[in-house]
Amino acid sequence: MNESSVSHTESIHRLDAGAARAALDSRASGLTRAEAASRVREFGPNALVRGPRQSPASQLLRQLTHFFALILWVAAILAALVARRAPGSGMDTMAEAIVAVILINGFFSFWQERRAFRALDALQRLLPSTVRTRREGAIVDLPATALVPGDVIALAEGDQIPADCRLVEAYDVRVDNAALTGESIAQGRDARPDLDASHHARVLQRNMVLAGTSMAAGEAQAVVVTTGMRTEFGRIAHLTQAVPERVAPLQREIAGLSRLIGLLSILLGAVLFAVGRAIDLPLRDNVIFAIGVIVANVPEGLLPTLTLSMAMGAQRMAARHTLVRHLPAVEALGSATVICTDKTGTLTENRMRARRLFVAGAFVEADEAAGRAEFVAAHRHVFAAAIHAETVKSGPHQEWLGDPMEVALVRLGRRALPDLALERIDLFPFDAERMRMSSLHKDGDHAVLYTKGALQTVLPLCVSAVGANGVAPLEEAQRQAARDAESLMGREGLRVLALAYRTFAGPVDRGTAETSLVLCGLIGLEDPPRAEVPDALARCRAAGIKVIMITGDHPDTARAVARAIGLVSSDAPVVMTGGELNGLSAAELRFLLNRPEVLFARASAEQKLRIVRTLQQAGAIVAVTGDGVNDAPALKAADVGVAMGISGTDVSRQAADLVLLDDNFASIIAAVEEGRGVFANIRKFTTYVLTSNVPELVPYLAFVLLRIPLPLTIIQVLAVDLGTDMVPALGLGAEPPDPDVMTRPPRTAADRLVDRRLLVRAYVLLGGIEAIGAMTAYALVLAAGGWHWGVALAATDPLYLRATTACLSAIVVGQMANVFACRSDTEPAGVRRLFANRLIVGGVVFEALLIAAIDYTATGQRLFGTSSIGWTTWAAAIPFALALVGLDRLWKRTRRG
């Protein structure tokens, strides 16, 4: 091929079949091997160039080096440095424990992500692996990747189309373009030149079939025009790859929390270092102490708890038919303020169904008509035409295969006439210009022709019609009634076909067979809305989530489906086509998107992407659903991309964060509920984990400021952070969503994961009470043992061991009460049923058993530097635990008031 041949491909649809082949330097016998080899070198393989994909090693490294992990790495390094300077301080154990936390959490997150990728790989549907291709006059099966421009290929019903091709021969061809356009109706295609000036887009050209689409019916020969990334499929794939990765809302929150913790830790360390200098603490001891405070202030248990909580949320979503590819998307969907949804297969069932008939001047529901014997007898030819004017085939499992509309007609006809089977004599295939098809059958001693097609092409061929009293001449009033009925059903979003017949007593002249027809009636078909969708949309409205339909289908269909499912209720909702959208400025589009009811039809990939970005610029958290290649750019740009698992393409699933395994919009709403619950749970266990930082820190302040023996050792801090706190915190992460979670509006951009209210509650109220309780228990043990101010105690002194054990145990008792206080930000402890969350109950039991093992077993005492304590010490801690619950109840009451 030369440059002039390439330039012809843009207008190749305007040429006849022979000229089209010539423009591509091709011929009916196909290319030679030498020509094909030359073109492979020139154009490359027929494959999509994938964007850079992270290797497993890169994915693991990302899990080990995100911002929170970096904070922990710094803490581990500081602890290791102190351990070298002060052996026996426990800092070496602290460093090892922090590194273990980072590695375990990183490997777990990596495993979770890789598992989602493997589950996704099992869903992939790829372009055809082999294609029947004509080379040097012979038909050979070639790998799809070996196709080059100019190749002549054979296509049949059910084939996936491997490249953008110009039809040169076509027999009853209809293609399913849903993956590229979102249209639910198969489109007719033929080999004639397309001279329509409005068909500038390749997907509109009636002699072109495109990569990524499929043959719904018919057989064809086609010449390959473009391959790989030069196809429409490849263009959209490139657009998807060009969209930058977005940071999930939760990831932004965690980064903010990490910065806050890092800043507070460094600030606190610097302040205490200054205090130490002011009271003449030796420089070496002062540096070691300041670093120890910084390390102790980092909540080591928060990161694994966060990861495990999101993983549990992902598991709950999986039980509700949603596969999570990226863990932060679990929470992000709960933050969504707008859902931009596709129509076909998400809001509808993605199957065609005969809904309504117009016969003898009256409408009747199709299913009702097929079940009434007297109606079937009076209008037998309606159902016979539905059965016979088709090209469907019977599949291996007794299902019908072919054009979805024809399958719907056959199903309706078979319900009415289950035993009717006439021998086919001839077939007049459908093509895009005729917009009809006919089938000639033998019926006893005569022949009968059944015709179906667009009313505009069938009605002029009819001279009679079936009326209430049988067949009668077709008057103009009846013709107009048929046109009005078609218009009415069209406004309801139905695809309307006319059915007609003609009987022949003698020989059939093929040239005039499709004349003098008898109009049987009209049939309206629909892709029925899913039964669960109206309730799901009502829940969206109650939850303050705006839903916008963006479809590639016809505006009337979009409007009718939206009205049927309750997405719109006004008399005149805004329905904007892709062409009209192109004429809007950015400000006009933003104003349009603020309208309460707006739908988009005939929208392209670029237009969907523009809508999503405009919403995001206005401050919305946007979730996008889609299944086609044309949805992939918007899916990737969205805050949460939701692809379809059944009908979705590989490209759309790879671009998404979540995959709906049942393609059902109602599953999205269930996932939103889970996502909102995850955010609330993260706040709960963050409050819980941060609370214990205060009673862990106060002993170090007292050690410096009051010159008393250190009330809590580093290893005992770890016992709380990575031991007793872990399972109760996970229990908070597993709390079911609040019953009213879907009646509240989404959180706004100003609603932070960790806000001033949470910090005050955790650090001042709850943490303050625990710190007072812990220091009181420590002081009581020292007083009972006869300790006097200023007396140093050795680390192995029995009195010192009992005192630090009392401090540690009081913190754990406080956390046992705190876990129930943290179950709700607004309800007091005890309101929720105790055993509604067994993991919390189990966590408290685990906490009690673990602190008992730490305090009373020889191994626990050796590892954590503890000693057995009496019941009076435990009794001293209980009033503070009760005070924590009581004061927290008062706090919640005042905040509600």
Would you name the residues annotated as active-site residues?
342
For the chain, the straight-line distance linking the first and the last C-alpha, in angstroms and rounded, comes to 79
Residue type, 649: T
- Asked if residue 189 lies in contact with residue 429, where contact means CB atoms within 8 angstroms, the answer is no
Alpha-carbon gap, residue 500 to 490, rounded angstroms: 19
Q: Is residue 803 within 8 Å of 709, Cβ to Cβ?
A: yes
Residue 162: name the closest of 254, 99, 98, 224 by CA.
224
Distance CA(633)–CA(655), nearest Å, equals 7
Handedness of CA 707, 708, 709, 715 (dihedral sign): negative
Is residue 660 within 8 A of residue 644, CB to CB? The reply is yes
The answer to whether the CB of 236 falls within 8 A of the CB of 632 is yes
User: How far, in Å, CA of 131 to CA of 573, rounded?
Assistant: 46
Total length of the chain: 897
Closest C-alpha among 579, 583, 634 to residue 609: 634
- 362-365 and 353-359 as β-strands: parallel, antiparallel, unpaired? antiparallel
Element (H, E) at 130: strand 130-135
Are the C-beta atoms of 73 and 32 separated by less than 8 Å? no
Q: Give the whole-angstrom CA distance, residue 679 versus residue 659.
A: 20
Strands (E) across 627-742 are located at 640-644, 658-660
Side chain identity, residue 680: A
Cα-based distances in Å from 465 to 440, 473, 497, 517, 518? 19, 6, 15, 8, 5
Helix, strand, coil % in the chain, rounded to nearest 5: 50, 15, 30
CA-wise closest residue to 452 among 464, 435, 465, 466: 435
Q: Which residue has the tokens 């196809």?
A: 231
Residue from 184, 663, 181 nearest 405 by CA: 184
Rounded CA-CA distance 123/715 in Å is 48
Name the nearest CA neighbour of 710 among 815, 812, 792, 811: 792
Distance from C-alpha of 111 to C-alpha of 446, rounded to nearest angstrom: 70
Name the nearest CA neighbour of 719 among 880, 553, 585, 852: 852
